[in-house]
Structures are given as C-alpha cells and as structure tokens.
Structure 1
Amino acid sequence: MTRIRSLSLLFATTLSLSACSSKKVEPGMYTGFLQDYSVLTEHQAPSGQTILSWVSPQLTRGRYTQVYLAPSQFYPKAEPTERIPQSTLSSVTGYYDAALRSELGKVVHLAPKPGPDTLVVRPAITRVAASTQGLRFYEWLPITLVAAGVSTATGIRDQDSEIATEVSFQDGETGAVVAEVVRKGTGVPLENDKQVMTADNLKLVLDGWASDLGKSYAAIHR
C-alpha cells in the first residue's frame, strides 16, 4: 500500500510539473480579444519558442510599407492587487510598447496613424499572474514530498511570474484582420507568495516577444 501511494504521489507530481512548464496558451485562457481563435495553429517563433498564430493566405510579401503600433492594453481590464499593483500594470504596458516600438522601428517605418499600405499592430496583455513553481526533480522522492508540501502550504516556495499576450494585425485601410498571435511566457521568479511583482520580473519576456515580432515582420516584408 505504501509503495502504491508513493507511486501515486510521484505520478501526480509529474503531471503537475508538466502543466506548470507548458508554454502553450490553452483555449480556456482565450479572452475574446481576437476575431477568430479556431484558425490558430502551432508555429515556431524566430526565438524557437512555440506560439499559436495565423496569417491570412492573402497577406503577400511586401504588402505593407509601414506599421502603426496601437498602444498595448490589458484585456480584459486588469484589477490591481497588493501583489500586482497599478504601478506594475502601468509599467508592463509601457515597457511592452517601448520594446515593440524599438524592435519594429529597426525594420519598418512607424506610422503616426493607420492608413493605406499600413499594417496595424494591436497588442493586448491578457494575463499577469504568479503561480507556485512545480516540484523539481529532486523533490519527487517520497521522503522529500512532505517537506515540499509544507513549503507550498506556508507560501515559501518560489513562484513563477506569468504573462500572456494576444496580438491582432489589421489592414490599416480596411480594418480586415490579416494575422493573429497568442503566446505566454514566464519571467523572473518571485521568492514567495508575499513578494510584489514588478515590470522587472517580466522585461525579458517582453523583450523576447518584441524581438520575435520584429524578425517576423522582416521575414514577410522581404
């Protein structure tokens, strides 16, 4: 009986670790920001990470000569908490905008408003949260599971800083959606469930997203 219980705990822990390490946004996390989620399929971003995306077959190379970057927003509207205050939320969207502007500005002219031959990029932050990290390999052994469980219960385990985005790309003249992207990332961990999250915990993720977008645009513009 003891052996069976230990194996059950190990199996449950393995499933928990797999769930926490997933980089794919599950359908239950879709927010309604995008026009059509049914067309999304898995692709590899320039960074090598797996994302969900769709590009209209009518989108031809070189179609757009400039980009209008709409200000990023939280969707649905984010409510500040003690751990994720308004200052953090504002800093996240501000940094995301700056990173996107910097990377896109390297490869295309940034337009002041939508118009002909302009690709409109509408980014949204759809999730910012902290979740307890999954158990590490050395914690799978039954003798350490109890200690790990106590650490989780008392809130002293490291916590992942999570963030997700949905981006809609539209024709600047007609408003037609020509591409969509959904992805998520994990930033710098928090030390416990009391530490306040700041934009610094998420900047590397935002930088990576912006870099991928710039490289993707450069690829379809050639």
Structure 2
Amino acid sequence: MRKRFSLPLLAAATLVLSACTSKKVSPDAYSGFLHDYSLLTEHQSPSGQTVLSWVTPALKPERYTQVYIEPSQFYPNPLPTERIPQTTLSDTTWYYDAALKHELGKVMKVVTTPGPNTLIVRPAITRVAASTQSLRYYEWLPITLVAAGVSTATGIRDQDSEIATEVVFLDGGTGVVVAEVVRKGTGLTLENDKQVITTADVKGVLDGWASDLRNSYVAMRK
C-alpha cells in the first residue's frame, strides 16, 4: 500500500520540478511585443543562460558606433497590486534602463537620439511575478511531500521572484529590425506569498541581462 501511495507522489514531484526549473519562455507566455516569434531559436547567453533569439544574417555589428536605448516599458501595461506596487514597476524600468546604459556604454557611445550608425535597443519587461519554489530532492519522500503540500497550501513555502523581457534591436538609419531576444530570470527568494516584490529582488537578473547584451555585442564584432 505504501508503494502504491509513494509512486504517484514521486511522479508528481518530478513533473513539478521539471516545470518550475524551466529557464526558457514558453510560446504561451509571449507578450506580443515582438513582431515575429517564429524566427526565434534557442541559444546560450555569454553567462550560460538559455535565451530565445534571432539575429539577421545581414547584421554588421561593426557599423554601429553608438547606441540609443529607448525607455524600457512594461508590456502589456500592468495594474499595480499589493504584491507588486507602482513603486516596484517604476523603479524596475528605471533600473533596467540604467543597467543597459551602464553596460553598453562600456563598448559604445550612448546617445540621446537615434540616427545613422546607431543601434536602437527597444526593451520591454513582460512579466514580474512570484512562483512557489520547486521541490528539493530531500522533499521527494512521501512524508515530506505531504509537508511540502501543506506549506504551499498555507502560503508559507518559499517563492521565487521572476521577471521576463523581450527586446527588439533596430538599425537607427533604416528602422529595420536586426535582432530580437526573449528571456526570463529568477531573482531573490521570497519568504511567502505575502511578501511584496521589490526591484531589489530582481536587480541581479537585470544586471545579468545587460552584461550578457554587452558581451554578445563584443563577441559578434570579433
């Protein structure tokens, strides 16, 4: 009887673990910010993270001597909630812009208006959320699975802060789209399902995205 009880629980735990540890944005989570998602293919970023991206074969990175970063936006436009207040929304877009300018400014001149020989970066944040953490290996045993289920039901189980982005890159002279990227990341751990999500919880993810973008640009120019 014990074996018949434990196997379904172990199977369920494995499925939950697989779903929660996915690092790639699934098609049903696309926001509509990009014009054509069919071009995206899976790649690894310079930091080793999974991203979905496309770069036109005609791209000549060396032609871009400067970069114009459009103010980042939330897409679709979200309504503030108790867990994700307006301060978090405003501070997150502000910090994303600052991180992109800081990193790309190391390898290109950051300008305030687009023009010839300018790469336009058009970033959007498409998700800020929290998800219950996946089951750890020591929680796979039947008795601890029951305990984990109780924790989730009562809202005391740790949660992961999550954020996703979609970015369009355009030629400043022609307005033609030259690259696109979709990715997501996991920020700091939240103590429960009541903790307010702040920009500090996802700063590390935003910094990583900006750093990856700089390193990707440098690699393409070699």
The TM-score range, normalised by the shorter chain, is over 0.9
Task: Provide, for residues 88-141 of structure 1, a one-character-per-residue CA deviation record: whole Å limited to 9, x for no partner.
Answer: 111111111100000000000112111111110000000000111111111110
Q: Which residue of 2 aligns with 1:129?
A: 129
Contact 1:64 1:221 in 2 (8 A): no
Contact 2:128 2:164 in 1 (8 A): yes
The CA distance in 1 between the partners of 2:5 and 2:28, in whole Å, is 31
Amino acid corresponding to residue 164 of structure 1 in structure 2: A
The CA distance in 2 between the partners of 1:168 and 1:33, in whole Å, is 9
Q: What pairs with 1:33-182 in structure 2 (closer than 5 Å)?
A: 33-182=33-182
Task: Provide, for residues 174-208 of structure 1, a one-character-per-residue CA deviation record: whole Å limited to 9, x for no partner.
Answer: 11100000000000010001111110100000000
| Displacement after TM superposition at 1:219 (Å) | 2.1
Task: Provide, for residues 133-153 of structure 1, a one-character-per-residue CA deviation record: whole Å limited to 9, x for no partner.
Answer: 111111110011111111111
Q: Which residue of 1 aligns with 2:19?
A: 19
Q: Structure 2 regions of 5+ residues with no counterpart?
A: none
Q: Count the aligned residue pairs.
A: 222
Structure 1, 60-69 or 165-174: larger mean CA deviation: 60-69
Which portions of structure 1, spanning 4 or more consecutive aligned residues, are displaced by more than 6 angstroms? none
The CA distance in 1 between the partners of 2:89 and 2:220, in whole Å, is 32
State the secondary structure of the residue aligned to 1:160: strand
| Displacement after TM superposition at 1:4 (Å) | 2.2
Amino acid corresponding to residue 45 of structure 1 in structure 2: S
The CA distance in 2 between the partners of 1:172 and 1:95, in whole Å, is 24
TM-score by length of 2: 0.97
State the secondary structure of the residue aligned to 2:19: helix
| Displacement after TM superposition at 1:22 (Å) | 0.7
Contact 1:41 1:53 in 2 (8 A): yes
Query: Identity percentage over the alignment?
Result: 73
| Displacement after TM superposition at 1:44 (Å) | 1.1
Amino acid corresponding to residue 120 of structure 1 in structure 2: I
Q: Which residue of 2 aligns with 1:216?
A: 216
TM-score by length of 1: 0.97
| Displacement after TM superposition at 1:9 (Å) | 0.9
Task: Provide, for residues 58-84 of structure 1, a one-character-per-residue CA deviation record: whole Å limited to 9, x for no partner.
Answer: 102302111110010000001110011
Q: Structure 1 regions of 5+ residues with no counterpart?
A: none
